[in-house]
């Protein structure tokens, strides 16, 4: 802990060190090292049961870590939780409120619990928040009558009520319709422009890709990736080449493989795949800025691509790649079998090992 705090940088909002939580024999979070910087919109990803909510609960002091520490705003949350929580707004899992109170009354209760003055003194802020989450029309409706989307929006509103520096949102778009998801995305982007640090866990990877600048991916309690979204996507960039015939496709693949072996290391790999029209294409693992070089390389061998299209990396693919269960030797991943057979056949034909 001392090390974590003594190396504290004002720009680091959340820093965890060896954070671990075990429930009996089940290790829910294992040796987690996270770092969230001021102003980050930090995506926290992982399949169900990977330990995301457990981590958020540990950060908020709802559960105690079995080992390790979490330092937020330079303060250890084991010792200075109240001071930390005054600067944090959070939703943990499904937002829960008092079912017999209206949305507005619930916000008044949250305001009092957050240290705000009660009654009329907090009216203005409550009204502002109701406007932000667009619940003013339903402000006097009992919470138990709210739809799931309205509950989520009220949860976000409660998290924003005391104007916190750090907003922790656990699956904030759960149960929202596409319009609701879009609204929450806009809200998060707006909060980010106000300088808030946002820590968001979600299953909707497209949303994360749209709003987050940094992500961490968790699997079975272990951190398997952490970094800038742009860097992750860059690592996963491809150039898709479509040629006019199957023969040309095979030739092109062979040329690319040889080029790589002869020192063109910007080609990380190449394989045959099919596009949405089920036509064969070559996917080249290379930076999207290399399209022209790739085109020139094929042209040298008198191969002229019908289409060369740089393809942006996709967080969903990265996520699935990183969190996919290890396929035992000899077993084929469902859905990939046909593609694998097709590719092998092409490689065999070309004599590529």
Partner 1 sequence: MKSAEPLMSEQQASPHPRVSSVRLGRPDYVSVIVRLTSMELYKIRRRAMSKVLSLLGILATIGLFALFALIVLLMSRSGASADAINNFSEALRLPGSLTWTGQLLSTLGQVLIIILVSTIVGGEYTAGTVRLMLTRGPTRTQIFFSKVGVALVCIVLGVVGITLLGIISGFLFNLTTSITATFDFFSMAWLGHAVLYLLAIMLGLFVYAMMALCLSTLGRATAAGLAGVLTWSFLIEPLIETISYFGRGISGPVGSFFQSLPDYLIGTNIGVLVGNQEQYLISANAGLQAGGPSNLQALLVLVVYIVVFVGSAWWVTIRRDVTN
Contacting positions for partner 1 (CB under 8 A): 2, 5-6, 8, 57, 60-64, 73-75, 80-83, 85-88, 90, 92-93, 96-101, 105, 108-110, 112-118, 121-122, 124-125, 128, 158, 161-163, 165
CB 214 within 8 A of CB 187: no
Residue 337 has a CB neighbour count (10 Å cut-off) of 11
* Shortest Cβ 23–partner 1 spacing (Å): 9
Minimum distance of partner 1 from residue 188's CB (angstroms): 18
Q: Reduced to 3 states, what is the DSSP secondary structure of residue 97? A: coil
> Measured from the CB atom, is 140 or 344 closer to partner 1?
140
Give CA 43 to chain center in angstroms.
4
For partner 1, the closer of residues 77 and 202 by Cβ is 77
Cα–Cα distance measured from residue 152 to residue 135, given in angstroms and rounded to the nearest whole number:
11
Instruction: Give min distance, CB of 149 to partner 1, in A.
Output: 19
Output the smallest distance, CB 76 to partner 1, in A. 9
Nearer to partner 1, 87 or 279 (CB): 87
Alpha carbon 247 to chain centroid, angstroms: 40
C-beta of 51 vs 280, nearer to partner 1: 51
Of 42 and 319, nearer to partner 1 (C-beta) is 42
Residue 213 has what DSSP assignment?
Answer: S
In the complex, the smallest distance separating the C-beta of residue 180 from partner 1, rounded to whole angstroms, is 21
Closer of 93 and 317 to partner 1 (Cβ): 93
- Burial class (CB within 10 angstroms; exposed 0-12, middle 13-18, buried 19+) of 52: buried
Nearer to partner 1, 170 or 207 (CB): 170
Cβ atoms within 10 Å, residue 15: 22
* Minimum CB distance to partner 1, residue 104 (Å): 11
Helices 123-132, 103-113: axis angle to 10 degrees equals 120
Q: Which is nearer to partner 1, 154 or 305 (CB)?
A: 154
Nearest approach in angstroms of CB 176 to partner 1 is 20
CA distances from 348 to 116, 263, 301, 342, 352 (A): 71, 23, 21, 10, 6
Nearer to partner 1, 155 or 313 (CB): 155
Q: How far is the CB of 145 from partner 1 (least distance, A)?
A: 14
DSSP classification of residue 43: E
> What is the nearest approach in angstroms of partner 1 to the Cβ of residue 20?
14
The C-alpha atoms of residue 101 and residue 91 are separated, in whole angstroms, by 18
Q: Looking at the DSSP assignment, which residues form a beta bridge with residue 24?
A: none
Can you read off the two tokens belonging to residue 306?
Answer: 């019908």
Are 154 and 126 in contact by the 8 Å Cβ rule? The answer is no
Distance CA 81, CA 261 (A): 56
SS3 109: helix
């Amino acid at each position: 802990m001392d090390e974590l705090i003594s190396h504290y940088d004002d720009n680091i909002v959340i820093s965890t060190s060896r954070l671990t939580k075990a429930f009996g024999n089940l290790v829910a979070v294992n040796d987690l090292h996270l770092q969230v910087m001021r102003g980050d919109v930090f995506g926290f990803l992982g399949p169900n049961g990977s330990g995301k909510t457990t981590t958020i609960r540990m950060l908020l002091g709802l559960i105690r870590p079995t080992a390790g520490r979490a330092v937020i705003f330079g303060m250890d949350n084991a010792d200075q939780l109240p001071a930390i929580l005054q600067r944090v707004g959070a939703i943990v899992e499904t937002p829960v409120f008092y079912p017999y109170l209206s949305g507005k009354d619930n916000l008044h209760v949250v305001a009092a619990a957050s240290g705000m003055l009660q009654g009329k003194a907090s009216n203005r802020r409550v009204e502002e928040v109701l406007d932000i989450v667009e619940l003013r029309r339903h402000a006097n409706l009992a919470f138990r009558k709210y739809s799931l989307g309205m509950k989520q929006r009220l949860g976000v509103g409660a998290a924003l009520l005391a104007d916190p520096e750090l907003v922790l949102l656990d699956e904030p778009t759960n149960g929202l319709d596409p319009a609701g998801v879009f609204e929450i995305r806009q809200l998060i982007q707006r909060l980010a422009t106000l300088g808030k640090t946002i820590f968001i866990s979600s299953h909707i990877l497209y949303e994360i890709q749209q709003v987050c600048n940094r992500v961490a991916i968790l699997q079975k309690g272990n951190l398997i990736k952490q970094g800038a979204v742009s860097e992750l996507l860059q690592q996963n960039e491809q150039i898709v080449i479509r040629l006019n015939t199957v023969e040309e496709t095979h030739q092109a693949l062979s040329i690319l493989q040889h080029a790589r072996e002869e020192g063109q290391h910007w080609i990380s790999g190449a394989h045959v795949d099919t596009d949405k029209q089920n036509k064969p294409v070559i996917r080249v693992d290379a930076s999207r800025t290399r399209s022209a070089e790739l085109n020139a390389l094929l042209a040298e061998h008198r191969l002229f691509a019908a289409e060369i299209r740089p393809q942006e990396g996709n967080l969903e693919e990265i996520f699935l790649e990183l969190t996919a269960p290890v396929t035992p030797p000899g077993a084929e991943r469902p859905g990939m079998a046909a593609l694998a057979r097709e590719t092998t056949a092409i490689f065999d034909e070309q004599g590529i090992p």
